[in-house]
Chain A
Amino acid sequence: MNRISTEDLHAIPGVECIADVLPNYQAIPGRFDALLENDPEVFKAWFHLLTDHRSLEKMRGVPYTANAMGECITQRWRSVKQWLQEHNTSFNPQSSGPASRSWELDPIPLVIIDKHWKALAAGISQRARLLDELTRDIYGPQRLIADGSIPVELVYGASSFQPSMQGTIRAGEPALYLYAVQLCRDSSGKWLAIADRTQGPSGCGYTVENRIALSSVLAEEFRDFHVRRSAGFFAQLRDTIAAYANMRQPDARTVLLSPGVRSDTFFEDAYLARYLGYTLAQSDDLTVRNGEVFQKTLTGLIRVQSVLRRVQDDQCDPLELQSNSGVPGLCQAVRDGSVAIANPIGCGWAEMPAVAAILPELCRRVLGEELILPSVPMHWCGNRESANYVYQNIDRLEIRDALKRKELALVSLPSRSASDRSKLLEQIKTEPWKYIAIEPFDFSTAPVWNNDRIEPWPMVMRGFATLNQNEYTVLDGGIARLGIDENTPGESLGTGKFSKDVWVLGNEPPIPLTLRRPPQGSLELRRSSFDLPSRVAEHLFWLGRWSQRAECRIRHARTVASRLIDSTDVHIAQAFAAIHDAIEPSDRPAWPKGMTSSDEILRVIRQRLHRTIFDPKYGQSLKNILWSVESNMVMVRDRLSLDSYQLLSNLLLLNSRQKEISVDDLADLQFELSRMLTSLSAFSGMVAENMTRGPGWLFLDIGVRIERIQHQLNVMRSFLLYDYAWMTPMLEANLEIMDSTMTYRFRYLMNVEIDPAIDLLLVDESNPRGVAFQLSKLDELTASLQAIDTIGLAEQRNRLSQCRGAIRLIDAESLSLLRDHARDLTLPMIPRSTNSLSSSEKLNPSVLSIRDTFPDLLVSKRQRFALKMLLDHIDSVILGLHNYLSSRFFVHTADVQRLGQSR
């Protein structure tokens, strides 16, 4: 706190405590409040945080009024909050699905002064060390079971104990690499543990995210307060995992195993994987071969030596743990010692409330120390004395399952009826060890910015520890969760309305984390290699496709919308109908018959346009396309830069908030569509400029190209059908949809005509929106992929170049034939020698009978038909390429089934 000393503080007359500044802030009676803690050092810290030094400068010497100060504070936090809202849309991790959660980052961090933190950190560290010892014992020598320290029912009576993992924690290896604890403060301000998290503790990714956001918005305070940094903790975690993995093989590969996109923690998993530099994997990405774990990648299987696990114990291996999902054979790989899992499978045992209840005694026995950080007051009924206490006090105790990790929603006891009570008592008496009783507990509160003012809300904090040699290092900071509402604390990470960054105030500026060298040798230089997980390649490919589909759809819809405003000619209206239909080539409903007026037609187009944009029931509506963008985007979150991810998140937010705009309000609709287009274009730009040209980018770009060319083929085909579609307005619309209007105008400075338009859209390889350009790009992209697949791709490239050849044959001269209705029955658009096509792709001669196919067309329009044939042919080549890539490179998890279910 460089800028303002305590003396400054006292220079403002009348400011002695927080109440002088925030007279309306009052603690809930009987509860401890972080802001009102009676400690001068704490007060000073809060005071400087809440006020801003500039306003203090102004206040100096001015007669003090609480109102004026309060106003300053309000101003300040209002603007901080606004900044956060503008910059952190990613705090709405998923706007859909069951895992939907939106928590807000509170602009006010929780500040903890150094001396208080030291005591708490010692407690967290000790608890981690103790639980590590206990877990290693029950999965190892079981001495603590043999001597009765850990009651046998808490091991063999608990489903969280995984017998098949016994003996798998190797000597000298830890049980807890990463540990988390849920903390709260009692009415005297003493820190207590509510629950321990040992399987795959979540939340530390969020602390990084919170920290990045808050330290940029409160940059000065962050620096002046000497807030302790958290990066060192993650470096330590990585080092620890690497140390045990490297025992298996030097330069070991670590993956972060996530339960997948449907899980609550996926968002964080992806973030953490990127932050730690691990590959994000799901069970489907991993396979066990010959007792070793491998990751499935584009080039084949790559050995994995360690796994940072975020998957529950019982979801790790369907073979041995009877789970529905997981990596079959993983337990055997662990038993073989070929893979280190952090934390080892089975560690969930240490999360049981009953274990927490007996920790004080175990701490004395195992560590020979007093437990520094006790749990909230609880009584395990497996202990006779505790049980008697519970029987006598049952009316005021909260009874819970002692063996299941459950979030304690410590609310006031629901009034139990007499029969409920006797039933409960009877249950407990039959199997007391299955029950635990929690003393009623009032959560402490912390200040939150809500409703434009600072309010006290119940608070829970999560702290983290990781192993460092033989000690546990505690993350300096953590994540605080503030209430489901102002009275109810959110007990787990998943509940609660606000999240808070935790600032541990140091006494001196922190030493910046240096980029540390690896312990041995020099880092091997690496370029993008093809060890990309197949699943990731697949999602990037689809992200490319869907985002491009969204872009095409928007351009298309915008063009149609703009034309709907003033069309009177019935033919033109019909032509627009055709153009509109090109958006939805497959499952569009038939046009009502007998429409003769342009008004009628335009009304139907409007309805359909509305449907193609907003209707969630219509599979290919823009709304649904954007959902698909999202579902692929979250899957590859760790592969996208933060900026590009945020751009897309913004867009999706627009989508989820998108109010339905009436079809009659075309101007609004156009505006909204343009806004979305801007985001998408920015994303494309980001991909083009920022993404490493590795295999991930290749697949994304191939997706984009395939989608774009298919869309363009559809558009072009749509206007081949009708005579009137050849008229200038249609051509103009097509140029606009394909974003080529400007180029055309620059080149031709005249009305749009068919020959130059076709030349630009189809033939010109320099037009990035044209068909020829996409073909040449696809050729380049597939050429880069040939590094990993020579033969199959060579065949695909052959077909692409045939298409390019056919397009080049369309010269200006032959184009002019198109307009000539009377002449020439040759097919100038088709390669002259059909031998260049493989037999299956030879043009079907029967289709050449134009009269049969298009009886309403004049024979002289044969050229047009020939053009359509060419476009169809390109389309089939592109479809073939898509199918080939998909079958060759993507994961196809076949049905997995279980044997041994019949006797």
Chain B
Amino acid sequence: MRYRVWHKTSYRYGSPVPLSHNQIRVHPRVMDCQRVISSEVTVDPSPVARRMWADPFGNLAEFFSIEQSHELMSVTATSIVERSLPFTRSPQIAWRDLVSAVKNPQRTIDRFAAQFQFDSKYAYRTPGVMEFASQSLLRNNDLLAAVKDLMGRIFSEFRYRAASTTIETTLQELLDSRSGVCQDFAQLMIAGLRCFGIPARYVSGYILTHPAPGQVKMVGSDASHAWVSVYAGDGHWVDFDPTNNIIVGDEHITLAWGRDYADVSPIQGILIGGGAPKLTVNVDVSQIKNNSKELE
């Protein structure tokens, strides 16, 4: 499947900003199942320094500074990506075996996967999370079955409510309110798996949305998305989307992964002045039909 992704982030500042330093992660990641045909980011006003680098998780990050006074800043990423179904081997592994392999890693591959079993800023273990996740894990031996169970329970027991949470919402608050957005569900699921020593990472990206029957999809109505990647042993990772209760196939587009949102947020910056900034995000994911004349 081939997609065109358009992702525009705009800030309108309350007062002029003479200097800002920013870091963005809006370039799609190159993977076995994901080919990046083109990826372009334009920044307005034009930045003085732009540097691309591979971050510690292998994502393509970009740093830029704007040194002229500005009250508006926009970052527009346009990419064309070809996504295929992930290589599925359907690993049959008991999660307890996986955990012991990671706990006392004998192989390099397991050692590096093990870094995703530790607490991070937003995905950390708590007794509440442990209790929630244990129901799924204790009644399943198989890793994939256990993870699916956990995903299904998050999907059914939590309501998706846009803007119901902020970055400061704790996992316990989420467990209490039982409502949140994709980032919350992903982080809750990651934390639940980490409680049992299963390495899990946070994936940011997009998902193709389908308009309701008989309706036309509005351009820019999509949003950035987040889901979970779970270590299945032997260097294999399987992606689960708790917001939609599906195993990720070829309708997701991966931008970056990390321990949680903090590692992969699409844009972060430090600026001088700026008053109260107003953020607008527009995302559009559209499928390019195979017979399309879209240039590669």
Contact = CB atoms under 8 A, between A and B. Distances in A.
B181 interface: yes
A894 interface: yes
With most chain B CB atoms within 10 A of its CB, the pick from A156, A320, A901 is: A156
A456 B279 CA distance: 65
B139 to A, nearest CB: 22
Interface string A130-170: 00000000000000011110001101110000011011000
B114 A332 contact: no
Interface string A878-903: 00000000000000001111111111
Contact of A895 (B63, B115, B273): B273
Interface string B42-55: 00000011010101
Secondary structure class of chain B's binding surface, majority of residues: mixed
Given A146-B111, A322-B262, A336 B268 contact: no
Given A152-B114, A319-B269, A332-B21, A289 B67 contact: yes
Nearest to A139: B56
Interface string B231-269: 000000000000000000000000000000111011111
B290 to A, nearest CB: 34
A191 B263 CA distance: 43
Interface in A295-344: 318-320, 322, 328-329, 332, 335-336
Given A291-B51, A332-B51, A335-B51, A899 B118 contact: no
Sorting the interface of chain B by its residue count into under 10, 10 to 19, 20 to 34 or 35 or more gives: 35 or more
A899 B268 contact: yes
Best-surrounded residue of A147, A157, A290, A329 (most CB of chain B within 10 A): A329
A153 B118 contact: yes
A287 interface: yes
Contacts of B111: 145-146, 148, 152
Contact of A318 (B56, B115, B270): B270
B114 A290 contact: no
A901 B167 contact: yes
A155 B266 CA distance: 26
A328 B270 contact: yes
Nearest to A330: B21
Contacts of A902: 166-167, 279
Q: Which of B18, B21, B23, B112 has the most CB of A within 10 A?
A: B21
B115 A898 contact: no
Interface in A849-903: 894-903
B106 A898 contact: no
B205 to A, nearest CB: 14
Contact of A896 (B67, B108, B270): B270
B22 interface: yes
Contacts of A895: 272-273
Contact of B268 (A289, A319, A894): A319
A900 B51 contact: no
Contacts of B271: 896-897, 899
A898 B269 contact: yes
B179 interface: no
B155 interface: no
Contacts of B167: 901-903
A167 B268 CA distance: 21
B112 to A, nearest CB: 8
B220 interface: no
Interface in B34-92: 48-49, 51, 53, 55-57, 63, 65, 67
Residue from the set B49, B51, B67 with the largest chain A CB neighbour count within 10 Å? B49
Nearest to A317: B270
Nearest to B263: A163
A56 interface: no
B21 A903 contact: no
Contacts of B136: none
B183 interface: yes
A329 to B, nearest CB: 4
Contacts of A897: 270-271, 274, 277
B262 A288 contact: no
Interface string A776-792: 00000000000000000
A433 to B, nearest CB: 10
B268 A898 contact: yes
Contact of A899 (B105, B263, B273, B277): B277
Contacts of B121: 322
A181 B220 CA distance: 58
B208 interface: no
Given A153-B118, A903-B183, A319 B56 contact: no
A894 B106 contact: no
Contacts of B270: 318-319, 328-329, 896-899
B160 interface: no
Contacts of A322: 121, 262
A287 B19 contact: yes
A320 to B, nearest CB: 7
Nearest to B166: A902
A900 B114 contact: no
Given A290-B48, A903-B183, A319 B21 contact: yes
A152 B117 CA distance: 10
Interface string B93-136: 00000000000011010011011101001000000000000000
Contacts of A289: 48-49, 65, 67
B282 to A, nearest CB: 14
Contacts of B158: none
Nearest to A336: B51
B265 A900 contact: yes
B48 A320 contact: no
Contacts of A164: 55-56
B23 A319 contact: yes
A899 B267 contact: yes
A262 to B, nearest CB: 21
A336 B267 CA distance: 20
B287 to A, nearest CB: 25
Contacts of B115: 152, 155-156
A322 B259 CA distance: 15
A360 to B, nearest CB: 21
Nearest to A158: B118
B202 to A, nearest CB: 12
Given A318-B270, A328-B270, A148 B21 contact: no
B56 A900 contact: no
Contacts of B114: 152-153, 156
Chain B CB within 10 A, most for which of A147, A157, A336, A900: A900
Contacts of B105: 148, 152
A290 B112 CA distance: 34
B274 to A, nearest CB: 6
Nearest to B57: A163
Contacts of B65: 288-290, 329
A288 B56 contact: no
Interface in A266-295: 287-291
Contacts of A336: 51
Contacts of A288: 21, 65
Contacts of A319: 21-23, 268-270
A166 B273 CA distance: 31
Nearest to B279: A902
A902 B268 CA distance: 10
A146 B105 CA distance: 10
Given A894-B18, A895-B272, 6 more contacts: A329-B21, A895-B273, A897-B271, A899-B270, A902-B166, A903-B261
24 contacts: A152-B114, A156-B115, A163-B56, A163-B263, A164-B56, A288-B21, A291-B49, A291-B51, A319-B270, A329-B65, A332-B21, A332-B51, A894-B18, A895-B272, A897-B271, A897-B274, A898-B269, A899-B267, A899-B269, A900-B266, A900-B267, A901-B167, A902-B167, A903-B183
Interface of A: 145-148, 152-153, 155-157, 163-164, 166-167, 287-291, 318-320, 322, 328-329, 332, 335-336, 894-903
Query: Shortest 10 CB-CB distances between A and B: which pairs?
Result: A900-B268, A156-B115, A899-B269, A328-B270, A163-B56, A329-B21, A157-B118, A290-B49, A146-B108, A166-B56
